[in-house]
C-alpha cells in the first residue's frame, strides 16, 4: 500500500508529454466504469457531481433501458468484448486470483478481430479477463503489468497512458481504445486503509499519495436521495456518500480522457461509448438479475450522428450489443469475422438517428452462473418492456453473498439489525433475499421494484409460457450448458450428437 503513493508521482516523470497528430479514419473510445450506476446529473441524481459525464451526455444519445447480460465483473467484461454471453464464451465467474475462469481458446474477442482488420487496439485499466491470447491488445496497461489502483483509479496516470497510446499507436491506423476504470468499485475488502470505496486513495492525506488531477469532493450523508433498494439508515447513507466521492474521481478521469482525445485531434472522428459492467455493490445490486443489478448507464456519442444528441432512447439495449455496434462502425461483417458463432446482439448505430416505431418485440437476456468461485447460483433471465422472467436454477440453496459486499457497512448493518430483530429499513428481509423460488415473474409496469412474484398465477400462465419459450430459444442459440437445469441432464454427445436431449431426473 505504501508504495502506491510513490507511483502516483513517479509516472509523471516517465511519460513524455507532446501533441499527437490527427487521423481522418474512424475510431472508437470505449469507457467503462466498475460497479458504476446512475449517480449523475444526467440520470436525475441531484447530489453527486458529475459535470464531465453530464457534458458527454449532452453530446450523446442517452440510454434509459440499457442492461448488462451478467451482473458480475469478469463475466460482464468478457461478454462486452466478445458479444457472447458468459455461458457461451467460457468466463463463468471472476477471472482473477484463485478463481481462474477463462474464455475458450477459440473465442474471437473484439480486439483480436479489429487487429485482423488493421485497427490499433489499446486497453488502459482493469482487464479482468483471459486468457491473454484471446484478449490481446496492441497496447496494454492493466493490472497484469501495474497495480490496478494505478491504472484504474490514478486518473493522472491514466491520462498520461492515454496520451502515450494516442501518440504512438494511431498515426497510420484507426484505433479502438478501451479505458476501464476501477472506480467506483469497493476496495475496503483488499485495501481498507483507503476507505470502503478507495475514496482516500491519492487524496494527499498522509500515506494516501497524491493524484495531481483529482480534486476530491466529499458529500453529506443526510442530503443523499437513496435508491429504493438501499436501506434508509445512517450506515448505508455514509456508505453511499463514500461511493459518491469515488464516482467524482471517475467523472474527473473521464474528463481527462476526453480532453486527451480532443487535444490529439480525434474528437471529430471517434465514436465514444460510456457504460458500466454491472449493478452497484449494494443489496439487490451486483450479482442480481433484478433491474437494480443489471440496469446500466449508457451514452453513445457519434460525431457523425448529431441528430439525437442530448436525447433519450427507451429501446431495450444489452451490453451484448456493443460488439456488433463497434464492428458496424468499422464496417466489419460480424457474420464472417465471429464465425462459427452467430452473435445475438444488434448494432445500436440506427438508434443514433431514429427511435424505432415498434418495440413490442424488443427483449434483453441475462445469464449469471457464478461471481466468486464459491458463489454458485446460476440464473437466466428474459426482460421485455413490460415483463421479466428469472429462472433460479439453484433455488434450493441460499443466494450467496460476495466478500467485499459482506463486510460493507450497509450489509453489516442489515445483518446485525436482522440478528437483533430490529427494523432494517429495507424493502425486503434477509430471509426473502436469501431464499428465492425457482421462477420469478414480474410485471414491471405495476411492480418496478420486483416484489410481487406472479409466477404460477393463472392469469399470467400464457405470458409465462411465452417468456419461458423465448428464454429457452436464446439458451439454445447461445449453446447454454445449463439449458436443461435443474430438472434434467443435457445429452449432446455420442448417440445424441445430432439430436440433443434434456433427459429428465424425475426430481420435480
Annotated catalytic residue: which of 48, 73, 187, 484? 73
Joined together, the cell numbers standing for residue 209 give 499519495
Other beta carbons within 10 Å of 116: 11
Pairing of strands 488-491, 501-504: antiparallel
Radius of gyration of the chain (CA): 22
CA distances from 29 to 166, 191, 274, 312 (A): 11, 30, 9, 21
Q: Cβ distance 362 to 346 under 8 Å?
A: no
Q: Are strands 61-67 and 27-33 parallel, antiparallel or unpaired?
A: unpaired
**Dihedral class, residue 390 (left if φ above 0, else alpha if ψ from -120 to 50, else beta):** beta
Going by C-beta distance under 8 Å and a sequence separation of 6 or more, which residues neighbour residue 329? 26, 28, 271, 349
Q: Which of 491, 482, 472, 468 minimizes the C-alpha distance to 393? A: 482
What does the DSSP 8-state code read for residue 210? B
Backbone φ and ψ for 148, nearest 5 degrees, come out as -65, -25
151 torsion bin: left (phi>0), alpha (psi -120 to 50), beta (else): alpha
Placement of cell 468499485 in the chain? 185
Report how far residue 373's alpha carbon sits from residue 101's, in angstroms, rounded to the nearest whole number. Answer: 9
Give, as one character, the DSSP assignment of residue 19.
Answer: P
Please check whether residue 302 is in contact with residue 28, taking contact to mean a CB–CB distance below 8 angstroms: no
How far is it, in rounded angstroms, from Cα 161 to Cα 167?
10
Q: How many CB atoms lie within 10 A of CB 169?
A: 18
Cis peptide leading into residue 131 (ω within 30°)? yes
**Closest alpha carbon to 5 in 207, 153, 184, 178:** 207
- Is 73 an active-site residue? yes
Alpha-carbon torsion angle 305, 307, 313, 319, nearest 10: 10
Length of the chain: 508
CA atoms within 13 A on the CB side of 477: 13
Q: Which helix (H) or strand (E) holds 54?
A: helix 51-58
**H or E stretch covering 176:** strand 175-180
Q: Which residues are catalytic?
A: 73
Amino acid at each position: 500500500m505504501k508504495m502506491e503513493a510513490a507511483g502516483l508521482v513517479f509516472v509523471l516523470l516517465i511519460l513524455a508529454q507532446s501533441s499527437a497528430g490527427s487521423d481522418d479514419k474512424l475510431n472508437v473510445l470505449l469507457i467503462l466504469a466498475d460497479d458504476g450506476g446512475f449517480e449523475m446529473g444526467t440520470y436525475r441524481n441531484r447530489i453527486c457531481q458529475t459535470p464531465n459525464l453530464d457534458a458527454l451526455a449532452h453530446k450523446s444519445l442517452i440510454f434509459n433501458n440499457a442492461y448488462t447480460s451478467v451482473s458480475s465483473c469478469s463475466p460482464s467484461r468478457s461478454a462486452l468484448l466478445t458479444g457472447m454471453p458468459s455461458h457461451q464464451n467460457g468466463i463463468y465467474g471472476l477471472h482473477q486470483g484463485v478463481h481462474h475462469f477463462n474464455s475458450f481458446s477459440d473465442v474471437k474477442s473484439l480486439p483480436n478481430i479489429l487487429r485482423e482488420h488493421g485497427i490499433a487496439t489499446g486497453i488502459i485499466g482493469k482487464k479482468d479477463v483471459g486468457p491473454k491470447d484471446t484478449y490481446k491488445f496492441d497496447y496494454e496497461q492493466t493490472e497484469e503489468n501495474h497495480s490496478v489502483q494505478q491504472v484504474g483509479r490514478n486518473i493522472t496516470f491514466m491520462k498520461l497512458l492515454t496520451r502515450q497510446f494516442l501518440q504512438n499507436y494511431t498515426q497510420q491506423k484507426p484505433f479502438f481504445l478501451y479505458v476501464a476504470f476501477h472506480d467506483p468499485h469497493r476496495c475496503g475488502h483488499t485495501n481498507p486503509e483507503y476507505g470502503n470505496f478507495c475514496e482516500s486513495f491519492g487524496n494527499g492525506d498522509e500515506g494516501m499519495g497524491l493524484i495531481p488531477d483529482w480534486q476530491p469532493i466529499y458529500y453529506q450523508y443526510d442530503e443523499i436521495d437513496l435508491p429504493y433498494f438501499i436501506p434508509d439508515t445512517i450506515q448505508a447513507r455514509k456508505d453511499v456518500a463514500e461511493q459518491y466521492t469515488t464516482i467524482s474521481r471517475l467523472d474527473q478521469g473521464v474528463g481527462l480522457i476526453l480532453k486527451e482525445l480532443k487535444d490529439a485531434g480525434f474528437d471529430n472522428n471517434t465514436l465514444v461509448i460510456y457504460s458500466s459492467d454491472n449493478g452497484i455493490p449494494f443489496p439487490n445490486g451486483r450479482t442480481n438479475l433484478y433491474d437494480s443489478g443489471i440496469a446500466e448507464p449508457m451514452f453513445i456519442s457519434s460525431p457523425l450522428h448529431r441528430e439525437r444528441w442530448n436525447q433519450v432512447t427507451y429501446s431495450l439495449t444489452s451490453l451484448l450489443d456493443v460488439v456488433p455496434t463497434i464492428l458496424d462502425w468499422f464496417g466489419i461483417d460480424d457474420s464472417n469475422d465471429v464465425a462459427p458463432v452467430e452473435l445475438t446482439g444488434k448494432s445500436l448505430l440506427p438508434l443514433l438517428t431514429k427511435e424505432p416505431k415498434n418495440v413490442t418485440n424488443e427483449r434483453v437476456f441475462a445469464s449469471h452462473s457464478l461471481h466468486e468461485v464459491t458463489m454458485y447460483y446460476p440464473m437466466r433471465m428474459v426482460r421485455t418492456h413490460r415483463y421479466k422472467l428469472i429462472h433460479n436454477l439453484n433455488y434450493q440453496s441460499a443466494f450467496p453473498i460476495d466478500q467485499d459486499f459482506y463486510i460493507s457497512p450497509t450489509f453489516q448493518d442489515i445483518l446485525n439489525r436482522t440478528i437483533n430483530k430490529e427494523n432494517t429499513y429495507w424493502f425486503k428481509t434477509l430471509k426473502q433475499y436469501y431464499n428465492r423460488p425457482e421462477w420469478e415473474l414480474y410485471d414491471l409496469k405495476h411492480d418496478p421494484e420486483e416484489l410481487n412474484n406472479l409466477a404460477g398465477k393463472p392469469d399470467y400462465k400464457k405470458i409465462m409460457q411465452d417468456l419461458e419459450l423465448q428464454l429457452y430459444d436464446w439458451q439454445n442459440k447461445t449453446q447454454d450448458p445449463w439449458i436443461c437445469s435443474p430438472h434434467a441432464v443435457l445429452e449432446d454427445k455420442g448417440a445424441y450428437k445430432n439430436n440433443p436431449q434434456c433427459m429428465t431426473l424425475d426430481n420435480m
